Amino acid sequence: MNVGNIVSTTNITITDDFNVVKSLDDIIQGLPTLIIGWDYVKKNYPDYDITDRKLSDNLYWTFKKTEKRELHEEDIYNFIQKIYSDLLANINYVFIDPIINNKKVIKKILKKIHSIKQLVSYQHNDMIYMYGENIIFGIDLSLINFMGLNVNRMVSKIKDKSKHFLTKNSIFIEYKDKVENLDNQVKYIPYLYLINNG
């Protein structure tokens, strides 16, 4: 899964979500791009503003570590945060609460879940997160158990409906770095998995 490009002639350590290349010719078109190097920007973008790190839509720049270390690190961090924030901007989260939600609301939510063709689910401890059509549904299994409902039956139904059913033990390590960039919100794992695996 590539979520952005970073153009750098020096080595940079970053997650594999980013397409790191040495030249603008090698970027993946359409993805936000960060150019590292004031010397490159001065040469190729003569109208740049040194106080503005945005060159155009989806094109940003920062200093090399050797040019201005503190701004280099801060700008890379801000670029990564912006990428992930934009990636999740259209994702809605719905917590299914059988205590607070009335039967009509629960039926509407279940109807929506059943209509989703590519549902990806993830179980993390007592929570199950289901993703499809830009919606993440969350359900607390301990709450279901507290209400006296059959948790195993519910999990089995979710597994049957899901194209992919992921568990913490099988997938969390692979997505740990990505989740850290999302304020450790594990509910996004099904969405990230679908981006990665289609």
pLDDT one digit per residue (tens) for the chain, 198 residues? 789 999 999 999 888 889 999 999 999 999 999 999 999 999 999 889 999 999 999 999 999 999 999 999 999 999 998 998 898 999 999 999 988 999 999 999 999 999 999 999 999 999 999 999 999 999 999 999 998 889 999 999 999 999 999 998 878 878 887 788 788 899 999 998 888 786
pLDDT given for residue 19 in this prediction:
95
What is the residue whose two structure tokens read 């010397």?
39
pLDDT given for residue 198 in this prediction:
63
> b/e for 160-189, b at 16 or more Cβ within 10 A?
eebebbbeeeebeeebeebbebbeeebbbb
| Positive or negative: CA dihedral 182, 187, 189, 190 | negative
Within the chain, strands assigned E span: 4-7, 18-21, 33-36, 54-56, 59-62, 92-96, 120-124, 127-132, 135-140, 164-167
What does pTM read for this prediction?
0.81
CB proximity list for 29: less than 8 A, separation 6 or greater: none
The string of DSSP letters for 4-57 reads EEEE-SS-----TTEEEESSGGGS-TTS-EEEE-HHHHHHH-TT--TT--EEET
